[in-house]
Amino acid sequence: MDLDLAWDLHPQVSVRPEPFGALLYHFGTRKLSFLKDRTLLTVVENLATSPSVRTACTAAGVGEAELPRYETALEALVRSSMLVERE
Amino acid sequence: MSASKPTASPASHADELVESESLVEEVSIDGMCGVY
């Protein structure tokens, strides 16, 4: 995943915040993804208003040391079509 | 004499790796009865 590109939630994905993080449901693939971290939820929410994944992470308070961990999580969401690259 | 404290143990590093893999968990509800 290129952290300097902009990504968005797939338009068919619904997000439900939960105490443990969030539930993402994709109406097209019928897949559920559990975000087990509130910071990751903030990153995902920030994507829509951020010019890049990196700025979305920074705005959520993710430091450089933690960035690879969140990148891995976001890549999992890309593989399950929860996130799509902004055109 | 003072003992220097290690900054990170192998165990804590392993914990971080496990945590990074579990930030996202995926489930497919396709085929489940009574969901719709």
ipTM of the complex as predicted: 0.84
> What is the three-state SS of A52-83?
CHHHHHHHCCCCCCCHHHHHHHHHHHHHCCCE
| pLDDT tens column, A56-83 | 999 999 999 999 999 999 999 999 999 9
Q: Identify all chain A residues contacting B30, using CB atoms and an 8 Å cutoff.
A: 30-31
Q: Identify all chain A residues contacting B27, using CB atoms and an 8 Å cutoff.
A: 31-34
pLDDT at B20 over 50: no
Distance (Å) from the alpha carbon of B2 to chain A's nearest alpha carbon: 29
* Domain A7-82 is found in CATH 3.90.930: yes
For the whole model, what pTM was predicted? 0.78
Q: Closest by alpha carbon to A7, among A69, A70, A62?
A: A70
Question: Hey, is the C-beta of B26 within 8 angstroms of any chain A C-beta?
Answer: yes
| pLDDT tens column, A37-60 | 999 999 999 999 999 999 999 999
Question: Hey, is the C-beta of B7 within 8 angstroms of any chain A C-beta?
Answer: no
